[in-house]
Structure 1
């Protein structure tokens, strides 16, 4: 089993050639790539991408055996400010159109919040807001179908697509194969009793054929939220997550998420040891 990483967790910015070499040195064959972070200066914090820059990134990554599995365009697609919403939706569609120039098949985002500061609010979970979010995603999927790309939605507890049940509702409403899920079981933990391994297993059971990639992270649960830890120092059974993914979908994209800059090498060593053990 192989694991991936968010490219910006390797702190090399606006230099795709140097970044690609470092990713190869770390033995990564695929990544999640966010131009907003890795190419902040070259893209005005992700707002301005172009086909030539995408090709430059693709060439550098190809030469080092690295695939962009997920092109990240994480934005608030349900921003209550309609001008801002239309701006980010236009940007997301641009990413869909340019994705293949980066060598990517899918562009991913979470679904955002009615509170632009992203404080927790029950207003994200109303039937009206869920339906509105589904319609926004439906429009993005139409663009994806036209340009031959995939939309990836990552559910999360502080977003309108906030649970496995609502994710099933989304997928039933939009049966297009151009809509896929990026599943992070840790992002669906709502209370201390929730087990990310069971969430993962249930997600695979419910809509495994629509899961494009998985996010993996370790954490401890504190009062009403999760707190990210270095791999191996939290409460998550990482090996059980890997085994579950590898059994259900051998070779699937499994991407380490939210690795701390101060402990990244330690976390990567532990992740790679677990993956090797499963092999």
Structure 2
């Protein structure tokens, strides 16, 4: 099993301190969102360079930790065109220097129109979807130039709200440089949680061959709401998920997320033990 996590789940720390803390936890791989995880270095647009990438990569390498995903969370459908433009430019910069961080994947969520109090905007609209495709085509074109993978992660509150919409994205952008970061919990809502097995099967049938990373967290239902908990501490059918991964994507990176440090050991053991049984 190749289990890791998100670096910013340890807080925002200086590079050396963060790398040591991640290694002590037992992670061999991380998803590193520079602006969320690293303290003391300005990683804003225009500041990345091969030297900075090498420094951060080597700091983690000294602790035997590899950067599996360079996280660059952008909103590809932001209703403010200037903010959307800045996000796209920042993502393209991450693509250009990803290899210097020892990484081949730059990851993002797919975005939402419901920002800055604009709650009436419809993520399910065709115009929102078309805006996403326009943004993804641009960043995927950049990724093709630099031999880097764009990893996109959908979810129920985003423009790519279902496995079917994810499949549609992949069909409209037929590039092998566009792949999927799959988080099963992201698609779970109070309306469909009882049908989670079908959702999981749909995801693997529709884009199982395009998954490059699994994000691992869990959910419980409380007071008619979905609450996020650490992997193995809720109701997500991990047995079904791990069976599919074992068959379709052996040795894929499984990255824990939305998890407190106190729960990390327990979640790691849960996934490792279940994976060995299925």
Regarding TM over 0.5, the answer is: yes
User: How many angstroms apart in 1 are the aligned matches of 2:224 and 2:45?
Assistant: 32
Q: Report how far residue 63 of structure 1 moved.
A: 2.7
Give structure 2 stretches of 5+ with no counterpart. none
SS at match of 2:103: coil
User: How many angstroms apart in 1 are the aligned matches of 2:104 and 2:37?
Assistant: 18
- Aligned residue runs from structure 1 range 232-271, under 5 A: 232-261=232-261, 263-271=263-271
Aligned position for 1:221: 221
SS at match of 1:263: helix
User: How many angstroms apart in 1 are the aligned matches of 2:149 and 2:231?
Assistant: 30
Aligned position for 1:127: 126
Does 2:20 correspond to 1:21?
Answer: yes
1:185–1:197 Cα contact (<8 Å) kept: no
User: How many angstroms apart in 2 are the aligned matches of 1:212 and 1:55?
Assistant: 23
User: How many angstroms apart in 2 are the aligned matches of 1:119 and 1:274?
Assistant: 42
SS at match of 1:124: coil
User: How many angstroms apart in 1 are the aligned matches of 2:84 and 2:20?
Assistant: 36
User: How many angstroms apart in 2 are the aligned matches of 1:145 and 1:218?
Assistant: 34
User: How many angstroms apart in 2 are the aligned matches of 1:245 and 1:84?
Assistant: 37
User: How many angstroms apart in 2 are the aligned matches of 1:217 and 1:98?
Assistant: 29
Aligned position for 2:161: 162
Aligned position for 1:114: 113
User: How many angstroms apart in 1 are the aligned matches of 2:218 and 2:130?
Assistant: 32
User: How many angstroms apart in 2 are the aligned matches of 1:162 and 1:179?
Assistant: 17
Aligned position for 2:81: 82
**TM-score using structure 1 length:** 0.89
Structure 2 CA distance for partners of 1:34 and 1:175, relative to 1, 3 Å: same
Q: Report how far residue 244 of structure 1 moved.
A: 2.3
- Aligned residue runs from structure 1 range 131-210, under 5 A: 131-190=130-189, 191-210=191-210
Structure 2 CA distance for partners of 1:192 and 1:174, relative to 1, 3 Å: closer
Give structure 1 stretches of 5+ with no counterpart. none
Deviations 1:215-237 (A, max 9, x none): 11111135675211233331123
2:167–2:206 Cα contact (<8 Å) kept: yes
**TM-score using structure 2 length:** 0.89
User: How many angstroms apart in 2 are the aligned matches of 1:60 and 1:9?
Assistant: 18
Q: Report how far residue 43 of structure 1 moved.
A: 2.4
Q: Report how far residue 8 of structure 1 moved.
A: 1.7
Aligned position for 2:56: 57
1:21–1:64 Cα contact (<8 Å) kept: yes
Q: Report how far residue 269 of structure 1 moved.
A: 4.2
Structure 2 CA distance for partners of 1:169 and 1:114, relative to 1, 3 Å: same
SS at match of 2:133: helix
1:189–1:196 Cα contact (<8 Å) kept: yes
Q: Say how many residue pairs are matched.
A: 277
Moved more, 216-225 or 49-58: 216-225
